[in-house]
Structure 1
Amino acid sequence: MRLPNWLSQHLAALRALLVLTVLLGLAYPLAFVAIGQVPGLSGKAEGSLVTMADTTVGSSLIGQAYTDADGNPVPKYFQSRPSKAGDGYDPTSTGASNLGPESVVDTLSDNPDDASQSLLTQVCERSVAIGKLENVDGTRPYCTPDGVGAVLAVFYRDGLTGPVTRAVSVNQTADPFIQTYAGVTVEPAVPGTDYVAEGGVITPIRGDAPDKPAVPADAVTASGSGLDPNISPAYAELQVPRIARERGLTEDAVRALVKQNTDGRALGFLGEPAVNVLELNIALDAGK
């Protein structure tokens, strides 16, 4: 007995559904689970968890903060790079600030909930804080000495040309970082004022900071995911004197540990060398 055409089509579709469900819904996932148990891969498949004295202290793939209850750096530990994932290194809220190089003007408001820092001011503030922590010069180009983006809104007589008629330090509501610009007195900003809409030209001021700041870039910028577990060898080297002092070690001994926990370029030429902060701090605590 020949089945109706419509019924044959439905049965064929059902068979295809069952076959694809078995292949792609069961066999394919189970095959990758099995591959993940191969020696050398199982640790990564299970999250690259790191244990110390039978206690899981983190993952070598996810960064973490080494701060006290008030958010201050713990001096005896190497510090990670900043994170914008949730409250910091939150795997459930991975992401970046989405601020780019043109983010140089802060949003000033009398209401703290409405105020926000530009990327430039975030970098400046972090650089000053790290400079104090590591006892080095934390100044950077286009930053004020107290860690704010050094940016003016400059008004010209003829719009974009002619003599300067007015200048406003757009990221400061108190004393401006410079007193005069092009012969006019620099004004502090008034919260809630859009100086660009009023005709001001946003003008970052470089200042006299060194071309190569003492604080490396990865110390003041977050990664795209906010979970980067590594820092650059330059940032690790910056922290060596503090770690040696806090732990009563020689700087050479600390540098040796840094070298042991530094991964080179992939395949010898891809990417940059990186220092895993978690593994380095564990080695310090273990006295290795």
Structure 2
Amino acid sequence: MNFLSRMPSWVGHHVAAIRMVVVLTLLLGLAYPLAMTAVAQVPGLHHRAQGSQLTGADGKKAGSELIGQSFLDKKGRPIPYYFQARPSNAGDGYDGSASAAGNLGPESTVDVLPTKGGPDSGAQSLLTQVCSRSKAVADLEHVDGSRPFCTHDGVGAVLGVFRADGTSGRATRVISLNQACPAKPFRTSYEGVAVECAKPGADYSKAVTTPVRGNAPAHPKVPANAVTASASGLDPQISTAYAKLQTPRIARERGMSEAAVRDLVDEYTDGRGLGVLGEPAVNVVMLNAALDRAHPVKGA
């Protein structure tokens, strides 16, 4: 009779468990990672295994080809000689540790207006975010930024209508909910009642929320992806339409022909997934890096 057979059964169970831990540690903690590391060195896979690192014009690492970047100056203004990316809700923008969407839906149309002396008070609705971004892009690209349900000053065109019978009956008072006093309301009257600007902190909860479409075109000049963030907040791509809108500015700022800019845009445009999924998209991060290499801006 050997030693193991004379041991209590519980000792045998522990010995077997220890053996299994040692085997799995060697297999999954050592052999498997080493095998995957070796596979990652195969030509064609090495670049992706290293995080698809992007090389800047100075030859140094400049982020990842898979994660977007903000091309803004220290004051948060768009740098005119760069293609601008789509908005991001990930942290302060494209923060890989805070990937997230805005979590606001189509019912988000009324702002919480900031109160005097409260710089961090207030919150923009999704509608106002879209409207303000559209105006900012239009100002940068010198195009018409109007879009349905937006005011000329870049907030949601939403009225709060007080009615004689609560939710029905004649209008008795009308407030432009997203235009804080002393702003001039986007409409002078509604159903024969003068429209008032909104007073921050006032209670308009009994008013009927009434978005006003206005006369903006059904297909705005500023594309949707220029004014809305992606679900992850990290996407480095924009639509070809948004790239086309920015092309004249880039050509002007970098002293290039528009044809040369379009050629670079085409080079960094990805087709549909599997040939049928989604729409073609332009990788802004790679495109801007290519512009810096081929057509650097003096003094930048």
Quick one: which of 42, 47, 55 aligns to 2:46? 42
How far apart are the structure 2 equivalents of 1:142 and 1:56? 43
Query: Which residues in structure 2 correspond to 1:205-244 (within 5 Å)?
Result: 205-244=212-251
The Cα of 1:168 is off from its aligned counterpart by 1.4
What is the root-mean-square deviation in Å for CA atoms of aligned residues?
1.7
| Paired positions, count | 286
Deviations 1:32-85 (A, max 9, x none): 333322221211111111113421122111111222221211111111111122
Task: Give the Cα–Cα distance (whole angstroms) in 2 for the partners of residues 33 and 99 of structure 1.
Answer: 41
- Equivalent in the alignment of 1:135: 142
Q: Which amino acid aligns with 1:222?
A: A
Alpha-carbon distance between aligned partners in 2 of 1:50 and 1:90, rounded to the nearest angstrom: 16
- TM-score w.r.t. the length of structure 1 is 0.93
- Please give the secondary structure, in 2, of the residue aligned with 1:222: coil
- State the 1:143 CA deviation: 0.5
Aligned match of 1:146: 153
CA distance in 2, matches of 1:229, 1:260: 15
SS of the residue aligned with 2:152?
Answer: coil
Counterpart of 1:283 in structure 2 is: 290
Q: Does 1:189 align with 2:198?
A: yes
State the SS of the aligned residue for 1:267. Answer: coil
5+ long unaligned stretches in structure 1: none
Give CA-to-partner distance per residue, 1:85-116, whole Å, 9 cap, x none.
22222222222222222111111131121211
Name the CA distance, whole Å, in 1 between partners of 2:77 and 2:235: 20
> 1:84 matched to which residue of 2?
89
Number of the residue aligned with 2:35: 31
Q: Which piece of structure 1 moves more, 119-128 or 99-108?
A: 99-108
Post-superposition Cα deviations, 1:249-277, rounded to whole Å, max 9, x if no partner, equal 22112111111110101221122211111
2:18 is aligned with what amino acid?
L
Q: Which amino acid aligns with 1:59?
A: S
Gaps of 5+ in 2: 296-300
Amino acid aligned to 2:193 = V
Identity %: 60
Q: Aligned in 2, Cα 1:23/1:167: closer, same or farther, shift over 3 Å?
A: farther
* Residue in 2 that maps onto 1:124: 131
- Which amino acid is the alignment partner of residue 42 of structure 2? V
TM score, norm. by length of structure 2: 0.89
**Residue type of the partner of 2:114?**
S
